[in-house]
Structures are given as structure tokens and as C-alpha cells.
Structure 1
Amino acid sequence: MPITCTFTLNGMPISILHCIGVGSFPAFSGQKYGRNNAYMTTVQDIGPLPKGRYFIVGRQSGGRLNAIRMWVLKNFYGTDRETWFALYRDDGKINDETFIEGVKRGNFRLHPIGPRGLSEGCVTLTQQTDFDYIRAALLKTTMIPIPGSSLKAYGTIKVN
């Protein structure tokens, strides 16, 4: 069974990622004045991800240079991006970008907080252990086909 989650842009520093059958976890999206601020979804790198339904998919990676970059990020910055999940908005084009009020946004991820404490629009869990728990549950689930795509998803997050 795929995992179904909800996340509310509540305007507060922390919101809760609720995943049915898994648990509820402190998380945030966006940074500075855009953190969990539904009115800032059109501001790249500051605002949270736009409202809507997102498919939770495996992060795409590619190329030798990307492997080197991932190694550097993991070993020097403490962020193992290979464990992260991509969030593709259900907007008619299932890919790593979306448009909100004419502004292109994308590269949304589900990941734990890193050493710099940033979220540039991703759903960022405040604890590594919470991310590990959700990740384990997602990897055990039966994946679902994404309509209009050859991709499969571990589940969905509905952003309100």
C-alpha cells in the first residue's frame, strides 16, 4: 500500500508531516520569511513548495560528475542526497518542475535537515531519525504507477 501524507503551510516555523500508518513528524518548507508561508510559493529558493499533490519518487541521478558531487556533499557537508526522495507535483506534467502563477519552481525533495538548516522549498524533516523512519517505511511500500507517466511512486504528499 502506498503511503499517503499531508503537510500544511501554516505560516509557523514548524509544521507537521502526517503520514497515515507511519506517524507525524516536525518539518518545514522554505526559509527565512518564506518558511511554511503559503503566500511565498512563487519566490524561488525562499518560499515553500506550492500547494497541491506530490508524488514521492526516487531521486534521479546521473553521470560520473554527479557521483563525485554527491560524494563531496556527503563526506564534507554531511548531506547524503542519495537517500533523499524527489517530489513531483501532480500538475499534468510529471517531472521535476512546476509553474505557480507563471513562476518556474522545482527540485523539491523530501529530506532531513542538513548542517546549514536550509530548505529551498523542499519538505525538510527536523530530525535525521524521523527521515530514516519515513524512508524505511517508503522503501517497504508497494509502489504505484503515476498516471500519464512511466514512473512509479512510493506514495503522495498533499500540501495544503
Structure 2
Amino acid sequence: MQIKRSTHLADYTNAHELFSAARDACKEMRAIEYELKRLKEREGLKAQSYEMSVRTSEHSDFTRQIDSRLVLTQRKREVYEQDKALYQLALSVLYGEGTSHGLSELVHLQACECTEQHYLLDRSWQAIARNFAIPVITARRNVRYALDMVDYLGLEHAIAGVGQATLDDFLKQKDE
């Protein structure tokens, strides 16, 4: 599966598409972290010997392992950084950038937190409901409400977290 890693808002047609891409990126980030950790552990710590060794293949195998890990690490790090940028974009839609508070200024915070847990942390509806001590249907409604608001306002406006007065003006202009 090819993950859309764009950090350009214009590349996403709606909030669901953005957050689904961010979910896939987060899953891939966790997989990369696990894989790199596993590769490093597999190398293990080798005791260094100062004696002359006749068997050089053991040393070269170890060196080859490290070299292949370093090459893989570099490639994975690039993908990881792209995934992290997409994750940060999704967070900025929910919680804003700098002094703005994103969508969380416009809707109740729980809607943003449920959306974050569902998409970015890949939690089940049951787990989200337990975390907030709410029914599963409320967790689902919170996420739908947050996504609908983002789609209604547009991704840029959600990130900007326009204040209530600005939001009222924006909604009036949109209706005209």
C-alpha cells in the first residue's frame, strides 16, 4: 500500500482523507521504529579482541550487518521524517500551530482528542470510550463532528483556529 505523504493541504480533498493518510503514516512510523530497534539489537554488542584473527569472515559478516543496517536506517529515516511531517500536519489541524489552537478552539476538546486517538494513535472505539468514560456512539459522533467541522471550514481555517466571532463572520460569508 502506497501511503500519501504529502504535507500540502491542497493534496487532500477532505479531513477523512488527511487523517487516514496520517493514520497510515503513524503505523509506518511505529513499524520503522520497531524494525530499526530490532536490527540494532540483532547486531548485539561484540567483544573486541586485540589478538590476531585468522578468521576474517566473522568480522566482515558483522561489518556487513552494520553497513546494511546503516543503509537501511538512512532510507527508513527519510520515510520516517516524511511520515512525521504528515503526523505533525494532522496534529496542527486539531490543535493549531504557534499561538492558534486549531480546531480545538472551535469545537469541544474531547472531539479533537477522540479524533487524535482514533486516527493518530489507532485506538479502537471501545478504547476511546473507556479513556473518556463515554459511550462508543458518543466517541464516534465526536470524531464525525470534528471531521465535518474541518470539511465545512476547510483545512486552512481549522489550523488557524478562527475565533468564534471570526467563525460567525466566516459562516455568514459562506452562506452568501
Superposition TM-score tier, normalisation by shorter sequence = under 0.3
* Larger proportion of strand: 1
* Larger proportion of helix: 2
TM-score, L = length of structure 1: 0.23
Structure showing greater radius of gyration is: 2
